[in-house]
Chain A
Amino acid sequence: VQLLESGPGLVKPSQTLSLTCTLSGGSITSAGYSWSWIRHLPGGGLEWIGYISYSGATSYTPSLKSRVTMSLDTAENQVSLKLNSVTAADTAVYYCATTISVDQNYYFYFDLWGRGTLVTVSS
């Protein structure tokens, strides 16, 4: 199983960042799996953005919840991320990752990551 993130490397402030994560060697509707988006900020920290389950249920981090939408494209075997009203603070490397979420997230971890894609927000 491999994950590959793709999308524009440059987005203008106030616009919408749109990324896709293509899964090869598996199905995004595999029962028991979720798909997270995580970003690595220039300051060095990792930030979990949210996840979408194989059934389409979503959970977003509260600080980004008002701007984030995740969805599944079963025909293309892709997971998408949309982040609207971006600013320079959204500049980061964005990763998708397969996510294990069990027992009300007592067990919550990312067992396979993509290599990430750099998104720069600049005019």
Chain B
Amino acid sequence: QSVLTQPPSASGAPGQTVIISCSGGSSNIGTNSVNWYQHLPGTAPRLLIHSNDQRPSGVPGRFSGSKSGTSASLAINGVQSEDEADYYCAAWDDSLDGRGVFGGGTKLTVL
């Protein structure tokens, strides 16, 4: 049972906008910044968004992040076939002496 809640799957046709949600609580998303990671099986996970809405260099502009209260979202504007992967949200959780926590992951299928 993951601390952060994500839908297990999402899908969209090429060119469409896909939004993946991440729900948490007052001790994690409500207090700290949210990050998003992309993971293709067999490869190293990749930082996609950090600090709620900051895109590292090299990440395409079609990826964006936002946060409101205890929830966050990752938007992919104009999804492409190479975006088919697993996406995870993550944050620091201040409970239990503090720990890093993840969402359960969302499998994105590009139709």
Interface centre among B31, B43, B91, B99 (most CB of A within 10 A): B99
Interface residues of A in 74-123 (CB under 8 A from B): 95, 97, 100, 105-116
Look across to chain B and name the residue whose beta carbon is closest to the beta carbon of A64.
Answer: B99
Do A109 and B35 touch across chains, with their CB atoms under 8 A apart? Answer: yes
A95 touches B98 (CB 8 A): no
A62 at the binding interface (Cβ < 8 Å):
yes
Contact B99 A62 (CB under 8 A): yes
Across the interface, which residues of A come within 8 angstroms of B100, CB to CB?
A: 36, 38, 48, 51, 61, 108
| Contact call A48/B99, Cβ cutoff below 8 A | yes
Complex interface bits, B69-111 against A, C-beta within 8 A gives 1, otherwise 0: 0000000000000000010101110101111111011000000
Q: How far is the CA of A113 from the CA of B51 in the complex (A)?
A: 17
B99 touches A46 (CB 8 A): no
Give the shortest distance, in Å, between A25 (CB) and chain B (any CB): 15
Chain A residue, CB-CB nearest to B31:
A106
Determine if A45 and B2 form an interchain contact, defined as CB atoms under 8 angstroms apart.
yes
> Chain A contact residues: over half helix, strand or loop, or mixed?
strand
Taken together as a complex, chains A and B put the C-alpha atoms of A85 and B107 apart, in Å, by 33
In the complex, what distance in Å separates the CA atom of A61 from the CA atom of B90? Answer: 14
Known: A108-B32, A109-B90. A45 touches B102 (CB 8 A): yes
User: Is A15 interfacial (CB 8 A cutoff)?
Assistant: no
Cβ contact of A113, chosen from B32, B44, B104, cutoff 8 A: B44
Q: What residues on A are CB-neighbors of B35 within 8 Å?
A: 108-110
In residues 16-70 of chain B, which contact A (Cβ within 8 Å)? Answer: 31-33, 35, 37, 43-47, 50-51, 56
A109 and B47 contact, CB distance less than 8 A: yes
Closest to A97 in B: B45
Nearest CB on B from A75, distance (A) = 26
**Is the pair B33, A108 in contact by a Cβ cutoff of 8 Å?**
yes
Q: Which of A44, A48, A114 contacts B104 (CB 8 A)?
A: A44
The 6 closest A-B pairs by CB, nearest first: A48-B100, A105-B92, A108-B92, A109-B35, A113-B44, A46-B102
> 6 A-B contacts, Cβ less than 8 Å apart?
A45-B104, A97-B45, A105-B32, A108-B35, A108-B92, A110-B45
